[in-house]
């Protein structure tokens, strides 16, 4: 017999403001326990030292995590010039130092070089797998290995503040897969010095923003009443940027059974006129999300069916 899942069928998102010193996995576990949820996941890892927006999915919302992780992200990070570390942040062992400090004008001038599609080598201390092993495990063991550069997209970079010659605060908007620690390392080197991330805060993940987040302490202060605190957001929150198509009862039933339905009748009822082949859509029955689906070959084909 299949083992029965513990916890309640609670579905939705928590827009958590992760505190420093807590891993993303630990934050998910604490929220899951607080809501007594049967299932939980998160929409994009934050380093333990980082703070800010960590969307946590409960129940059927976990089926939309991949879409949340693909969303645009925004970070505010501080580069500490003059010191490079093995981890790319202030926790790591110092591997290089420099007396050179860039001017504000030099920093502003180098930012366009790191904007757009760029090739980026991830930090050695990262969760990327190398021959089946996590890079950070290999790095801790002193293994000799190289990580291949990856093509990533940085949408914008701006110098926000220069508290002193040793530090620069940068605002970054990016697509998925960008490592801020690598960005800081490479920018510092391009400026003729070395550097690491001394502070990192994520201010947005898609539609999840800093202004709408709740701290872990405040959420835990609700105790057993957390599920009724008003901070559980609908499953569709992560899908706000894709078209929502209205279904009939019969169409919803077919999609829920994993069967494709004809796209034309559904599209004719939709205000979205620019839907095309390969587009992802939210298939809705009234206010209920039935499935994440894809337009393909004149059909709406379910990718993930939700049981709400």
Q: Write the pLDDT tens digit of every residue in 248-273.
A: 999 999 999 999 988 888 877 776 66
Other CB atoms within a 10 A radius of the CB of residue 163 amount to 9
Which domain covers residue 104, as residue numbers?
Answer: 73-205
Indicate whether 5 belongs to any domain. Answer: no
Indicate whether 162 belongs to any domain. Answer: yes
Rounded to whole angstroms, the Cα distance separating 248 from 268 reads: 13
pLDDT of residue 121: 87
pLDDT of residue 238: 85
How far CA 57 is from CA of 4, 14, 42, 146, in Å, comes to 20, 7, 6, 34
Q: What is the pLDDT of residues 23-74, one digit of tens each?
A: 999 999 999 999 999 999 988 888 889 999 999 999 999 998 888 888 899 9
Same domain? For 91 and 48 the reply is no
Same domain? For 112 and 143 the reply is yes
Rounded to whole angstroms, the Cα distance separating 264 from 200 reads: 47
Beta strands in the chain (DSSP E): 12-18, 40-42, 51-58, 73-81, 83-85, 94-97, 116-120, 129-130, 133-134, 150-164, 167-174, 195-205, 208-209, 214-215, 244-246, 261-262, 280-285, 288-296, 299-305
Query: Is 0.75 topped by the overall pTM?
Result: yes
Indicate whether 272 belongs to any domain. Answer: yes
Same domain? For 66 and 34 the reply is yes
Residue 104 is among the residues annotated as catalytic for this protein:
no
Rounded to whole angstroms, the Cα distance separating 308 from 290 reads: 8
Please check whether residue 85 is in contact with residue 196, taking contact to mean a CB–CB distance below 8 angstroms.
Answer: yes
Same domain? For 104 and 214 the reply is no
Rg (CA), the chain: 22
Residue 250: which CATH number? 2.30.130.10
Residue 29: which CATH number? 3.30.2350.10
pLDDT of residue 283: 87
Q: How many CA atoms lie within 13 A of 89 on its CB side?
A: 17
Same domain? For 67 and 86 the reply is no
Among the options 47, 89, 146, 274, which is catalytic? Answer: 47
Rounded to whole angstroms, the Cα distance separating 238 from 206 reads: 7
Please check whether residue 283 is in contact with residue 236, taking contact to mean a CB–CB distance below 8 angstroms.
Answer: no
Beta-carbon contacts of 274 under 8 Å, excluding residues fewer than 6 positions away, are: none
Which parts of the chain register pLDDT below 50?
1
Number of structural domains (the chain) is: 3
Same domain? For 92 and 173 the reply is yes
pLDDT of residue 94: 96
């Amino acid at each position: 017999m299949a083992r029965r899942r513990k916890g309640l069928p609670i579905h939705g998102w928590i827009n958590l403001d992760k505190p420093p010193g807590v891993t993303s996995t630990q934050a998910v576990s604490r929220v899951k326990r607080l809501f007594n949820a049967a299932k939980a996941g998160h929409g994009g890892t934050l380093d333990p030292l980082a703070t800010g927006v960590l969307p946590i999915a409960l129940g059927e919302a976990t089926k939309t995590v991949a879409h949340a992780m693909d969303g645009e992200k925004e970070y505010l990070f501080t580069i500490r010039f003059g010191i490079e570390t093995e981890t790319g942040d202030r926790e790591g062992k110092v591997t290089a130092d420099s007396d050179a400090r860039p001017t504000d004008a030099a920093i502003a001038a180098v930012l366009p070089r790191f904007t757009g599609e760029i090739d980026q080598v991830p930090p050695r201390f990262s969760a990327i797998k190398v021959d089946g092993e996590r890079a950070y495990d290999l790095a801790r063991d002193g293994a000799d290995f190289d990580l291949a550069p990856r093509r990533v997209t940085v949408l914008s970079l701006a110098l926000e503040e220069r508290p002193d010659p040793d530090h620069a605060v940068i605002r970054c908007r990016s697509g998925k897969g960008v490592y801020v620690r690598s960005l800081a390392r490479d920018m510092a080197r391009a400026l003729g010095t070395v550097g690491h991330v001394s502070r990192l805060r994520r201010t947005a993940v898609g539609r999840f923003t800093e202004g709408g987040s709740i701290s872990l302490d405040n959420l835990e202060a609700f105790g057993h009443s957390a599920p009724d605190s008003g901070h559980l957001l609908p499953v569709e929150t992560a899908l706000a940027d894709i078209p929502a198509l209205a279904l009939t009862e019969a169409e919803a039933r077919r999609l829920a059974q994993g069967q494709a339905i004809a796209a034309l009748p559904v599209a004719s009822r939709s205000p979205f006129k620019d839907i095309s082949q390969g587009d992802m859509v939210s298939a809705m029955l009234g206010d209920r999300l039935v499935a994440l689906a894809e337009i393909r070959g004149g059909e709406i084909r379910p990718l993930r069916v939700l049981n709400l």
